[in-house]
């Protein structure tokens, strides 16, 4: 069988890891792919640094190992795309810019396979990329785009083809999970836990996408596409981040035997898909509550095989690179037998406010007798059954308590809060915090 010749665009943390694995495991990969996988070209602006960091001979870098200007790098990329020698291109430049988007289209339209870890690009701008791949009969590998080393893409695409996915949930952002773990275990405030995550390399200098739920949303959008065959526009998927989680929230979670996690959740009910990314109180009886630190975990519930849980590192040079290499091997071995995406299905992407969960509602009120009873009555008037009411926490003229409900809709809770505001506008000191409870 003809060798699979590959080129890597970008030799940073992930691209360098790919080159390192391909060069170190040449013979093993040949056995697994039933053909040789040959690294031909690497485009990198500063090849000497990448060469030293990942032990890659300079001869693999375009430009004979000299630093490249952006214009020179673009010319080498053009040459790779035009080359009949290259069969597959690995894009590890990152980002969802027009440049990267157009670059991926050019690779595909040249008849070359594409492998990428670029979740933001595929989640937000992937529609025409996948359509172009189908038209050109080339394959897109994107295992590394969701949860790093966890093989969730192939598991859903290949391993569950004899089953029917009912729901997908999980912890899909290691930074947020590390922060929440520190808040839970060390009783830190959010800002303290974030600073610790940055010091230990688990959070970027700008952690916005991790803590506001944006990174997790990209991953869930791709899993919804795979599991249910439905394209969801980014802004349609409701997201709440962890930046407003407090020590008091952690304490309320402890009271109901739960831990707070940033959860990606998607579930199919008849013809409706309900999905959200938001902090949830995960009961300690649920395995996801035990997933700590920067670890990721994905829980898939199937019609026939039941619950399956995959757990592992969601980021890192060799961890993410390994997933890219597995895609290269898979494409080299199975070629046109691979299906890029499932056939689209006609499901309705439903309003998440109609999704039924038990909830925990936290209230900040004035320290006035009768407040708890009034709020409980307002909740009950919306046909919501209350499971427990927490101990009140008093601080001068202010009080704080939480109400755990039986399963209901978010809309019912919102209606109850609006009724409280209308009848007793002075009662609530701030907007109540609402978190689903995951059993």
Closest CA to 123 of 275, 254, 249, 14: 275
> Cβ distance 112 to 88 under 8 Å?
yes
Strand order from edge to edge, sheet including 37-43: 37-43, 4-9, 88-91, 113-116, 140-141
DSSP secondary structure, 185-247, as one string: HH---HHHHHHHHHHTTSS-SS-HHHHSSHHHHHHHHHHHHHHH-----GGGS-B--STT--H
CA distance 197 to 145: 22
- At residue 211, what are phi and psi to the nearest 5 degrees? -85, -20
Radius of gyration of the chain (CA): 24
- The verdict on whether 219 is a catalytic residue reads yes
If you write DSSP's letter for every residue of 404-436 in order, what string do you get?
Answer: EESSEEHHHHHHHHHHHHHH-TTTBSSPPEEEE
Residue 413: both structure tokens together: 């809770």
Catalytic residue, candidates 219, 225, 313, 433: 219
- What separation, in Å, do the N-terminal and C-terminal C-alpha atoms of the chain show? 51
Lookup result for tokens 């839970």: 184
Enumerate the active-site residues: 219
């Amino acid at each position: 069988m003809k060798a699979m010749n590959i080129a890597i665009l970008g030799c940073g943390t992930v691209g360098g890891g790919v080159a390192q694995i391909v060069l170190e495991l040449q013979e093993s990969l040949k056995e697994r792919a039933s053909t040789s996988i040959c690294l031909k070209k690497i485009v990198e602006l500063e090849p000497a640094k990448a060469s030293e960091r990942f032990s890659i001979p300079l001869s693999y870098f375009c430009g004979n190992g000299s630093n490249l200007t952006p214009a020179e790098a673009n010319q080498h990329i053009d040459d790779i795309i035009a080359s009949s020698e290259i069969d597959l291109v690995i894009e590890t430049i990152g980002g969802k810019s027009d440049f990267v988007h157009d670059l991926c289209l050019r690779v595909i339209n040249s008849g070359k396979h594409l492998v990428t870890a670029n979740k933001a690009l595929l989640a937000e701008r992937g529609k025409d990329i996948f359509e172009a791949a189908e038209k050109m009969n080339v394959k897109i590998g994107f295992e590394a785009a969701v949860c790093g080393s966890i093989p969730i893409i192939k598991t859903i695409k290949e391993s569950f083809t004899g089953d029917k996915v009912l729901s997908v949930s999980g912890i899909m952002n290691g930074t947020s999970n590390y922060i929440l773990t520190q808040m839970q275990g060390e009783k830190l405030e959010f800002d303290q836990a974030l600073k610790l995550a940055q010091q230990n390399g688990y959070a970027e200098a700008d952690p916005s996408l991790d803590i506001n739920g944006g990174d997790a949303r990209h991953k869930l959008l791709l899993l919804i596409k795979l599991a249910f065959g439905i394209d969801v526009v980014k802004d349609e998927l409701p997201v709440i981040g962890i930046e407003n989680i407090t020590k008091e929230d952690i304490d309320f979670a402890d009271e109901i035997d739960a831990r707070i996690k940033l959860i990606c959740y998607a579930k199919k009910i008849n013809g409706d898909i309900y999905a959200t990314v938001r902090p949830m109180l995960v009961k300690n009886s649920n395995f996801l509550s035990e997933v700590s630190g920067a670890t990721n975990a994905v829980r898939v519930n199937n019609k026939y095989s039941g619950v399956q849980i995959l757990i592992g590192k969601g980021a890192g040079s060799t961890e993410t690179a390994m997933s890219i290499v597995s895609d290269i091997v898979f494409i080299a071995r199975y070629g046109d037998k691979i299906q890029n995406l499932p056939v689209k299905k006609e499901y309705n992407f439903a309003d998440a406010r109609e999704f039924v969960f038990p909830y925990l509602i936290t209230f900040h009120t004035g320290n006035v007798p009768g407040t708890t009873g009034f709020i409980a009555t307002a909740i009950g008037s919306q046909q919501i059954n209350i499971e427990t009411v927490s101990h009140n926490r008093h601080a001068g003229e202010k009080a704080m308590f939480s109400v755990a409900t039986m399963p209901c809709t978010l809309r019912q809770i919102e209606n109850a809060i609006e009724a409280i505001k209308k009848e007793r506008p002075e009662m609530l000191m701030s907007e109540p915090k609402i978190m689903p409870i995951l059993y």
